[in-house]
Structures are given as structure tokens and as C-alpha cells.
Amino acid sequence: MDRRSSRLEWQEAYEHTSAAHSRATTQSGTPLAPVYGPGDGEFPGVYPYTRGIHPAMYRSKLWTMRMFAGFGTAPETNERFHQIIDAGGTGISTAYDMPTLLGIDTDDERARGEVGRCGVAIDTIEDVADLYAGIDLAAITTSMTINAPAAAIFAMFVASAEDQGVERARLGGTLQNDILKEYQAQHEYVFPPRPSLRLVRDTVVFATREMPRWHPLSVSGYHIREAGSTAAQEVAFTLANAFAYVELSRRAGLAVDSFAPKLSFFFNAHIDFFEEVAKYRCARRLWARWMRDYYGALDERSWQLRFHAQTAGVSLTAQQPDNNHARTAIEALAAVLGGAQSLHTNSFDEAWSLPSSDAARIALRTQQVIAYETNVTQVADPLGGSWFVEELTDQLEREVGALLEELLELGRGSLLEGCLTAIDQGWFDEHITEAAYAHERAVQRGERLVVGVNAFVDATSAPAPTNQVAPDTEARQRARLAEVRLARDATAVTRALDELRADARDSEVNLMTALMAASRARASVGEIMDALADVFGRYRVAPR
Amino acid sequence: MTTRVLIAKVGLDGHDRGVNVIARLLRDAGMEVVYTGLFQTPEAVARTAIDEDVDVVGLSILSGAHLTLVPLVIAALRTSGCDVPVVVGGIIPQEDVAALHSAGVAATFGPGSSMQDIVATIEDLVPAH
């Protein structure tokens, strides 16, 4: 491409943004341009988008301050959502408890001890209605961090919203729905990979056709990194998974440009500041190149990698927990200087438990300080052009490129097949565990310092106050589920689940219709997942 | 004889970064390590402990369900006639440590525990071979 035209191309695009006539200065009055760089260099909003996907970046739109929350029962989490919105949060994001994440009902013996603990317990559509009570679903965007039962939870959400008068076309938000990384890193899977991918296909096709404001897939490197990967592995595995979903959707008959603009990404914001900034830049550049050149996308929105970031949970320390405020602030700044579209900041107490309401508020305030006080929002990609950051971006690009080529070879030209083969071989686990082990050994040997852990240790430091989930949560949620089971029409439930099984047996059928019918009949998440498991089987993996 | 350790994940908690790393570090320290894999029931852990004839059972829990799950594992072990010591690693708030000890846990290892301490504690728990 003609790199000389880069600045001109940017200029033209910039003039069409809402920031075209914006003026900015430093705190002391020096005027600031919206971006700096040589005329033939890379520019934001211009392919390959290394410097950001929008020509004006945060001058035209700040990132969404999307705080992730969920604990106890639906009414308790609903109260937290209202607190977040009242405090100026601009999006909400739901964390589900372990039983829900694995498609297990609250009254199942396997759920004992886990109900409402790591997130909110959701059993039926009634809980979904309680979760979003009083929240205008056509106005605020919602995000759902769920994967194995994503299709079932999504069906409950859409059915519940429609029953309350909000048509599906008006719903805006994101379903994580990234099942591949579950087999690679997070390990909250239920069905084997191929039938799981069929559920992903069904949700993507449904949302692409009927929900223009919905992002049906958030391809997530966050969990890969938390499991211990390096930055290059985080980007490589995430992009490989995203390309796998591109291939999956193409096989389902969707034109690449019809759904690729709806894909979103989710990356970690870790503690190595410059590496993180370079990571986001390199991810954008590689996505643009591969989408244009390998997958033949023609729409520039298909080339633009938009991402949510979350500060690194694993970087938080249980020792001297107050230090975590500093870690989160630095990590959040890396995400912002790296051009994130949406951000969650962890709370300082999260090495111990889910965040308290006060701690979550401070985490949100940290974003607001960055957004409104520091002035870093005025200039796009402020670190672009730094010899160090540019070189690091190129270096990561080479490392990521080599890993992608390896997976592509494994799949004989298909990243979908490459990812599936690599999952079967335990290739991802091996890479990630090796990196996690190297990190821990370095900490144990004192080669890598962690303040409060192996350096500047303070024996008197008090642990953070732990935010306890109410002890009667499990009992209350069991009672709620029992009440719903008693009030529903049992024959209708059986019929809906039979229809779901029948649809599941025919791989050509889109399961969203049957899932929404089962949700409306008040079938539980566990019942829906069990019915699907009758057809799909369950995934088991032997320890390596 | 080499110390044999069973490392187990019980319940629904899929977080296995800690368990994978600990398994390797214990092997580096010269122990034989058997890992159950994820999502084990207390009964399955007890069975594996007996079948593998281990000296110590180490449970790894991040989800916060330790007060429910750990006593179940200990009960399953003891009713199967297995009296090996049980240690727990993970996020365990200070106020829960005493409860775990009275439930029969021999030692707990919180975040930031040094490998030296973990290895020394395990060796101390195992009667001389």
C-alpha cells in the first residue's frame, strides 16, 4: 500500500469524526494535536490499525467503563449493578458462579459449597429477570462472561428481555461464548469441542441475522494469560481462536464481512507496562493483515480489532493488599495507552475474595482518574514512534506470527482444524504450563521480584477484609429454584426439552429457537445442558 | 523411599495454574506426584489416594468452597480407612485456617508460600520411610 498517503487518509477520516473540531491543550496550555507521527508512518483509524481503530480515538469516544460483577443470588447482583451505574459505570458485565458456568443447577449435589460464590447463581429465566430488574436493556450494554452454557444463558436473556417488551434487535451487548479457550486454558467445558462449536455457530448466526447491536463472541486471551501464558502466546492463541471462529462462521454460510465486524476481543492488562502496550498494537496489526489477506475480508470494519481489557487478577497479591491499587492503576493505564475500547479494573481485595462494594468503587474511580484527569485521552497512541515500543511491537509480531504458522501447519491451512488438533494433543496446556512454571520458578529464586511477596516483605501487613458471600445464599437459591419448578407446567418442560434433543440431533438446525422455548417453559440451565449432553456427550480429559 | 503425593482438584473449580505449577515444583524437589485432574468428587480422590498408595494428599482450591469440600474429602478418606495427612493450598482467609485444622487438615499453604516451606512441611508430615 502507498504509505505516503497514510497521513492524508487519516486526516480525511478524522474530519468525519465527532472530534473534528475538538481543541486540546496540556494542563499548562500547550496545544495538542490528535496524533503525532511522520506523514508516511502508521496512523490510527488507518489500515493496519496498529495505532488504534478510530482516527480520533478517545477524543471521539472514551472507552466503556465496564465493571464485571456477580455474587450470591440475582437480586444481590442486581443491587451491585445499580450501584455501578449510579457511580458512573457505563456498562455492566455479569460474572456467574461455578455451577452456572458448568451448566449445573443449584440443587445438584455437585454444586454444594459453590453456589453464588465466584459469581451469581442463575438457574432459570426467572433469575435472569431478577438480575436485570430496573435496568434499561435497550440503553445500557450488557456483557455475559459465560461459555459452555452460553447459548442457554443467551436464550434466557433474549427471551426474558422480549417478555418485558424489549425486542431482540434493540439489545446491545456481548456474549463471551469463546469455547475454544476453555479447552486451552480455563477448563470450564461441558461438551466435546465439535458440538460446542455448533452451539457457538448457532448463537453467531442468530445474532448476526437478528441482533444488529449484539456481539455474539468475545475472543478471550485474558484467561490464557491468567493461566500463565506469555504475552506472545496470549495474542497468538487468541487470534488463532478468532480465525477458527471466522472459518466456522464461513462454513455456516455467513459472509466474512457480515459477522467479522461483530467479533470482539478480550485481553489481559498485565504488569509489564510497555510489553502490554506493544501487545495490543501488534494484535491489531496482525488481525488486520490476516483478515484482509488470508480471509479475504473487504469491509474495513472486519479488519479492526476492538477489545475489552481487564487488569491482571494474577498480578494482585494477597500480601500487603493495599499495594494492589497501584498495580491496577498502572495496568489500566497500559490498556488505555494501548487503545482499549472497554475496560474493567480489578479491586485491591480480589486476591482474597470477590470485591467488596467499596473496593469496586475505587477500581472504577481509578478509570475515571485516568479518563478525566491525566489528559492521556487527547492524543491517540501516544507511545507510537517510541523506538522501544515500535521494536517491541515488531518483535511480538514475529513471535506471534511463528506460533500462528505452527498452528496453521497443524491444521493444514485451517486454524479451526489447527486449534482442534492442538487441543487434542494438549499443545496449548503444555505451552501455558511451561510458561507459568518458568514464572513461578523465577519468583521462588528471587529472579523476579514481587513487592510484598519476595521483596519488601512486611510481616505485620494485615490481609484485606474478605467480602463474604451471605452464608444462606445456597439455601435461598435452592428455595427459589424449588419455587420455580413447582409453579411451572411440567409437561411443557418435558416437551420443550424433547424438542431441544430432537433439534440437537440434526446438526443443520439452529438451536436458538428450541433454547428460547425451553427457557420460556422455565426449564433450568442444568436441565437444558443435560438434555444437550444426551446428544452431544460430555468432554473428559485425562490428566497429563 | 521417595515421598508420594496426590495432588487433587475437587468440586467445580477449573483454576489449575497453581496445581500444575506445584506438581512440577514438587517433582523438582524429588517427590513422586500423582495429579487427579479437574472436577473430582471427594470419593474419587479417596479412591485414587488408596490405589496410588500415596503418603500425602494435597488439595488445591481457589473458588472459596474449601470449608464445604475439604471436610468431605477427609471424611471420604477416613471412611475408606486411609489416614494419610491432608494439606490444602489456595486462597484461604485467615479466619478459615483454624476451621480447616479442626476438620483434620495437617497444613495450609496460602498465596506466596515458599516452595522450601511446602516441601519441608510435607516431608515432616510423612513418617520416616
Q: Quote the pLDDT of residue A4.
A: 52
Q: Quote the pLDDT of residue A91.
A: 82
Chain A contact for B99 (CB, 8 A cutoff): no
Residues 421-460 (A) with a CB less than 8 A from some CB of B: 433, 436-437, 440-441, 444, 453-454
**Residue A436: its chain B contacts at CB < 8 A?**
17, 20-21
Q: Quote the pLDDT of residue A1.
A: 47
Look at A227 and B17 and tell me if their CB atoms are within 8 Å: yes
Report how far residue A417's alpha carbon sits from residue A429's, in angstroms, rounded to the nearest whole number.
17
Q: How far is B82 from chain A (nearest CA, A)?
A: 23
Q: What is the ipTM of this complex?
A: 0.92
Nearest by Cα to A528 from A543, A540, A544, A511:
A511
Of residues A318, A433, A441, nearest to B111 (C-beta): A318
Alpha carbon of residue B127 to chain centroid? 17
Local mean pLDDT, 10-residue blocks, chain A (544 residues) = 74 97 97 95 97 98 92 96 90 93 96 93 98 93 96 98 96 97 96 98 97 97 98 98 98 96 97 98 98 98 98 96 97 98 95 91 97 98 98 98 98 98 96 96 95 91 76 96 98 98 98 98 98 97 72
Q: How far is A358 from chain B (nearest CA, A)?
A: 19
Q: Quote the pLDDT of residue A439.
A: 96
Q: Quote the pLDDT of residue B129.
A: 55
Question: Which residues 6+ apart lie within 8 Å of A144 measured at CB?
Answer: A93, A94, A96, A150, A153, A154, A157, A173, A174, A175, A176
Asked if A120 contacts A71 with a C-beta cutoff of 8 angstroms, the reply is: yes
Residues 124-143 (A) with a CB less than 8 A from some CB of B: none
Look at A353 and B115 and tell me if their CB atoms are within 8 Å: no
Report how far residue B85's alpha carbon sits from residue B82's, in angstroms, rounded to the nearest whole number.
9
Look at A314 and B25 and tell me if their CB atoms are within 8 Å: no
Look at A318 and B112 and tell me if their CB atoms are within 8 Å: yes
Of residues B11, B16, B24, nearest to A437 (C-beta): B24
| Model confidence band, residue B99 (pLDDT cutoffs 50, 70, 90) | very high
pLDDT at B128 over 90: no
Peptide bond into B42 cis (omega under 30): no
Of residues B35, B41, B112, nearest to A319 (C-beta): B112
Nearest by Cα to A159 from A176, A137, A174:
A137
| Complete domains list, chain B, with CATH | 4-125 (3.40.50.280)
Report how far residue A529's alpha carbon sits from residue A524's, in angstroms, rounded to the nearest whole number.
9
Which superfamily is assigned to A57-444 in CATH? Methylmalonyl-CoA mutase (3.20.20.240)
Chain A contact for B60 (CB, 8 A cutoff): no
Q: Quote the pLDDT of residue A456.
A: 96
Domain ranges of chain A: 57-444
Q: Where do we find the cell 458440538? A: A195
B51-62 average pLDDT score: 95
Other CB atoms closer than 10 Å to residue B27's CB: what's the count? 12
Q: Quote the pLDDT of residue A541.
A: 84
* Residue A95 bridge partners (DSSP): A145
Look at A187 and B14 and tell me if their CB atoms are within 8 Å: yes
Q: Quote the pLDDT of residue A188.
A: 94
